[in-house]
Amino acid sequence: MGLYHCEGIILRTRGLGEADRIVTLFTKEKGKIEAVARGARRPRNRLVGVTQQFSYLKALIFTGKSLDQLSQAELIKSFAPLRDDLLKMAYATWWTEVLDVFLPLNEVNSDVFLFLLAGLVVLEKVPDPMLVSRAFELRLLKYLGYEPVLDRCVGCRKAEGPYVGFAPSEGGLLCRSCAGAGGMNLIPVRPAALAFLRELYQVDLRELARRPVDPALGNELGHLLFTFIQLRAEKPLKSLSFLQSLMAWTPPESDLN
């Protein structure tokens, strides 16, 4: 039993009983935690406004025998524009679901925390989030230890290419001889798209947000990253289906099987 202060971003909320809300908070100090916000679903409760999804808050947590309790909370940034714009909400929900699925509870990762915070700040402002999201997805994979191999063949480790495609199950590119007679699910990726994907590791998100968006490129990279993330998540990601339906997104037809 005890009290501690932390700073965190709300990844997810869900109802508990009639009046309470459980918040999944990604904190700088303690990693991902879950806490009950007592009364947070009653309209006049002081925790209502601060326990919205994506809110960035300063919190005082009371550690109980079972569930921790959000004792006090003060809003640092509400990220309200992310809840008011359907497309941005879909992107932010997708990012926070990926984090929620991949981050274990109570594992401190302040780099990822600061990356999410920076990402949400850019998302709030960017006119079309597509390429910013691709960069976010790719870098999140790297931070979480699932970095796809994009600079050589994941089979023989040779960097000469040419590559026949990206193998989500192997987590990287495959050359012709490693891809063998087929049977493996490969996602074709054009050399230009591959070069752009590698660039996304380096580029500043704010700078990327100012560039014009090429939807065909965004979709091509999306197909690769979504398939890979979905496979690694090992469970259906609801926010991804929602984002895709919102964008009337269809995968390129030329998958090699």
Tell me which of 59, 82, 175, 205 binds Zn ion, using CB under 5 A. 175
Which range of residues in 12-20, 120-128, 178-186, 243-251 is near Zn ion by CB under 5 A?
A: 178-186
One-letter amino acid at 74 equals E
**Tokens 């908070």 correspond to what residue?**
25
Q: Is 153 in the site for Zn ion (CB under 5 A)?
A: yes
Cβ-based nearer residue to Zn ion, 82 or 178: 178
Tell me which of 19, 87, 114, 156 binds Zn ion, using CB under 5 A. 156
Both tokens of residue 214? 């090429």
Cβ-based nearer residue to Zn ion, 105 or 159: 159
Both tokens of residue 46? 């002081």
Using CB under 5 A as the binding criterion, the count of chain residues that bind Zn ion stands at: 5
Q: Spell out the residues 6+ positions from residue 45 whose beta carbon is closer than 8 angstroms to its own.
A: 19, 39
Compute the Cα dihedral for 44, 124, 128, 31 and give only its sign. negative
Q: Where are the alpha helices (DSSP H) in 204-253?
A: 205-209, 215-233, 238-246
Minimum distance, C-beta of residue 185 to Zn ion, in the bound complex (Å): 16
Minimum distance, C-beta of residue 229 to Zn ion, in the bound complex (Å): 23
Q: Is 155 in the site for Zn ion (CB under 5 A)?
A: yes
Strands 149-153, 172-175: parallel, antiparallel or unpaired by DSSP?
parallel
Minimum distance, C-beta of residue 175 to Zn ion, in the bound complex (Å): 3
Per CB under 5 A, residues contacting Zn ion are: 153, 155-156, 175, 178
